[in-house]
Amino acid sequence: MTERPDFLFIMTDQHRADWLGCYGHPVVRTPHIDALAAGGTRFDEVFVATPVCMPNRASFMTGRYPTVHGLRYNGCLLSQRANTFVDVLRAGGYRTASIGKSHLQPFTDNEPFARDPFEAGPIEEAWKAETGDYTSEEPGSYDAEGRYRVPTPYYGFDHVDMVTGHGDQAGGHYRQWFRETYPNWRELTDPANELPHNYTCPQAFRTPIPEEAYPTAYIRDRAVDYLNANAASAAPLYTFVSFPDPHHPFNPPGRYWDMYSPDEFDLDVRFEDHKNPPPPLLHARREFEAGRLPQVRQMSFMASDQHVREAMALSAGMITMIDDAVGAIVESLKASGRFENTVIVFNSDHGDYLGDFNLMLKGAWPKDSITRVPMIWSDPARREAAVTAALASTVDLAPTIIERAGLRPYFGMQGKSFCPVLAGEQGSRESVFIEYNDGGKRMGFEQPARVRSLTTPDWHLSVYKDLAWGELYDRRSDPQHLENLWDSPAHAGVRTDLILSLTHALINQMDESPRSKRLA
């Protein structure tokens, strides 16, 4: 393999694995991402550490699980004391840049879930509050005129072009640029001025923002600018390009709004297809039949077939816009002369139910649709098409990138490098461990959900905190998880074996860093 390659890491948000042409989607058009797969390794069995934005992004950066790195829920923060693989690259001589969505610190002013008043006391938390500056993603940091300067290195990044939020309401440096570039920016972002349309799907909004001013285009242009400015860099580059789409709201701009018709899509599985639906799915059905939508826009909900199709069509438009942006970025990389020594990785932070069992978004029911993500690794050492079913996790990316850069990981990293898989060897993982930690009561749970899951090539197991029921699915014969075998006498042995494996995974999850400084 070439030594000290550049890296271009492209991440999307809430993008399930099977919504790309190269992963077999029959409708969504993604020729540029497909081209990466045609010149790289497509991983078919990559799973997140947790199917939630902030915790999984922190797991990506640290190579550690959420309960270890501490960012367990959205709205928490990744401690500035945490080392990241980007810190390692920077210390090893790499020039590092983050362009787009970071989401390692809170970027809204939303109030957290209500706490039990009986929990209040003179000291409320087990740990003293972090004392550093954690305002770099907050809306208020970008309200002033002029460009806000993110204190660097920001988790290892020397150059930061911040985009926060989603859709046409995105913030950060994007919002500052948008205000400066478009004097009528208030009108363009006012929901009262949305363009006419006939969609009734929740969170479908036809934005008047021009295509060239939408966050996806902004991130594309900033990435191209950065790569061009550093084309002659003697130092190797690690460039992280992170798109907030296709995360809801469903509002692709311009031609991407009606690029696809809802009539082109259908649901793979409906609520009625599940033979013995578990409590979270039953709760969602009851809420749907009562006509109740969640008050928080981030909560999963059940939708009609028509609303699902509308959301699919709009999501496809957002994905194709990202694909066009990827094409432009790769072309600029080729024009710069650095393509031949650049590892290009495409990945997502988690998936989306996107109509499975009529559910939308994500929640405390860890199905493959929200836990399995696309990953393509296109490497100058092997620019040829390959497909692997080797299991991999988000936590594996950090040690893999470090090894590919010829550097050593820090102690306490929990992922496993899959460089051997890239070289054509068999994968070493027998299972992937997935955790879900909720900060509030959702999906009918009487307490904030805690779920621990284990996925193997053959089985998926989920155990829920303090609940007698669980889930067991045969991934070979039932890839869509239509029949829960948890209570099946014929599968009691399989369940016992998997629970033992899950126990071993929990033991291995213990934080081993820092090491002791003395023997006693």
Q: Which pLDDT value is given to residue 117?
A: 65
Q: pLDDT by residue (tens digit) across 157-184?
A: 999 999 999 999 999 999 999 999 999 9
For residue 319, give every residue at least 6 positions away whose Cβ sits within 8 Å of its Cβ, in sequence order, or none: 12, 15, 19, 20, 28, 30, 245, 246
Residue 219 in 3-state DSSP?
A: helix
Asked if residue 468 is part of any domain, the answer here is no
d(CA 155, CA 60): 12
Please list, in sequence order, all residues whose beta carbon lies within 8 angstroms of the beta carbon of residue 167, skipping any fewer than 6 positions away. Answer: 205, 207, 215, 244, 245, 247, 248, 249, 251
Please report, as a single letter, which amino acid is at residue 35. A
Per-residue model confidence (pLDDT) at position 273: 98
User: For residue 82, what are the CA distances in angstroms to 54, 101, 129, 413?
Assistant: 15, 19, 15, 11
Residue 253: give the domain boundaries.
6-117+132-430
Kindly report whether the peptide bond that precedes residue 374 is cis, defined as omega within 30 degrees of 0.
no
CB 6 within 8 A of CB 236: yes
Neighbours of 197 (CB within 10 A): 14
Asked if 376 and 42 count as a contact pair (C-beta separation under 8 A), the reply is: yes
For residue 123, what pLDDT is reported? 84
Q: Would you say 357 and 274 are in contact if contact means Cβ atoms under 8 Å apart?
A: yes
Query: Residue 440 falls within a domain, yes or no?
Result: no
Residues of the chain with pLDDT under 50: 1
Number of domains in the chain: 1
DSSP letter for 157, please.
Answer: B
Please state, in angstroms and rounded to a whole number, the distance separating the CA atoms of residues 367 and 235. 42
182 occurs within a structural domain: yes
Closest by alpha carbon to 374, among 1, 4, 112, 24? Answer: 24
Give residue for tokens 């990827």. 326
Evaluate whether residue 351 is within a structural domain: yes
Render pLDDT for 285-343 as a digit per residue (tens, 0 to 9). Answer: 999 999 999 877 888 999 999 999 999 999 999 999 999 999 999 999 999 999 999 99
**Does 249 reside within a domain?**
yes
**Distance separating alpha carbons of residues 222 and 96, to the nearest angstrom:** 14
Q: Is residue 498 part of a domain?
A: no
The domain that holds 235 is classified in CATH as: 3.40.720.10
Q: Across the chain, which distance is largest between two alpha carbons, in Å? A: 71
**Assigned domain for 301 exists:** yes
**Domain for residue 452, yes or no?**
no
C-alpha distances (whole Å) from 54 to each of 1, 29, 449 are 33, 28, 17
In contact, 70 and 78? CB cutoff 8 Å:
yes
Residue ranges with strand state E in 174-278: 237-242
